[in-house]
Structure 1
Amino acid sequence: MSNDRSITVTITIKAPIARVWRALVDPELIKEYMGGAQVVTEWKPGGTIFWEGLWQGQPYRDKGQVIIFEPESRVKYTHYAPATGLPDRPENYHVLTYSLSDRGNATELVLLNENITTEAEQKYLESGWKIMLEELRRVAEQG
């Protein structure tokens, strides 16, 4: 298996870049579009990030590391989910980059998910990210 697969999902959100950025990094807003997940991080490069919650009635605690944090522009971090059953090793961490661009009365958000192992995982993630980004759009557009 190789980890050379990636997904890019783009969405346009009818909200200012500051509001979209806030939806991306504010733990209270993240809960609204990520199934109630509690995000714990200081959003500093090199710092840890944790996602905690319930998935299908079971508690989980995913983890990662913040790589880049450029306010109202880009955030990049790794993500490891123990539920995958894969060992906690760097090759089993996804790398997620969210990039924002001002489009006048709207904001373009591009999500790049790298380090995907299988085609089945790629399809599953692509579907899930599209749903999550639609929910993020709803939260950001509500203000």
Structure 2
Amino acid sequence: MSNDRSITVTITIHAPVTRVWQALVDPELIKEYMGGAVVLTDWKPGVTIFWEGLWQGQPYRDKGQVIIFEPNCRIKYTHYSPATGLPDQPENYHILTYSLSDRGKDTDLVLLNENITTEAEQKYLESGWKVMLEELKRVSEHS
């Protein structure tokens, strides 16, 4: 299998970049658009990040590592979910980058999801990220 697939999803949020950034890193706001997921990290590069919650009634604990943390600009981290059934090995981690562009009263957000294995996974993730970004937009515009 090849892991050279990626997804890029872009959204314009009618809120200042500082508010969108807050929604990306504040655990209480993250819960609102990520299905109640609890995020545990201190956002320092090299530090582990965990996502915990319930998915279809079953508890989960995903993990990754913060790579880049540039306030109001960019976050990059890895993500691994045991739910994939794949071994916990570096080649099975997605690489996620959120890039923000300040447009005054608006913010452009670009989400890049790299290291995707199959076309089916790519389609599933693209659909899911679009929904999640719409929820992030809702939270950012109304917080």
Query: What interval of TM-score do these two structures reach, taking the shorter chain for normalisation?
Result: over 0.9
Name the CA distance, whole Å, in 2 between partners of 1:34 and 1:105: 24
1:1-143 aligned within 5 A: 1-143=1-143
TM-superposition CA deviations, 1:92-138 (whole Å, max 9, x none) = 00000000001122000000000000000000000000000000000
Structure 1 stretches of 4+ with a deviation exceeding 6 A read: none
RMSD of the alignment, in Å? 0.4
Name the CA distance, whole Å, in 2 between partners of 1:2 and 1:30: 31
Matched residue of 2:129: which SS?
helix
Aligned length: 143
Give the % identical residues: 85
Matched residue of 1:122: which SS?
helix
Name the CA distance, whole Å, in 2 between partners of 1:22 and 1:3: 31
| Residue type at the aligned position of 1:120 | A
TM-superposition CA deviations, 1:31-85 (whole Å, max 9, x none) = 0000000000000000000000000000000000000000000000000000100
Q: TM-score when scaled to structure 1?
A: 0.99
Q: Give the superposition deviation at 1:12.
A: 0.2
Query: Gapped runs of 5+ residues in structure 2?
Result: none
Q: TM-score when scaled to structure 2?
A: 0.99
Query: Gapped runs of 5+ residues in structure 1?
Result: none
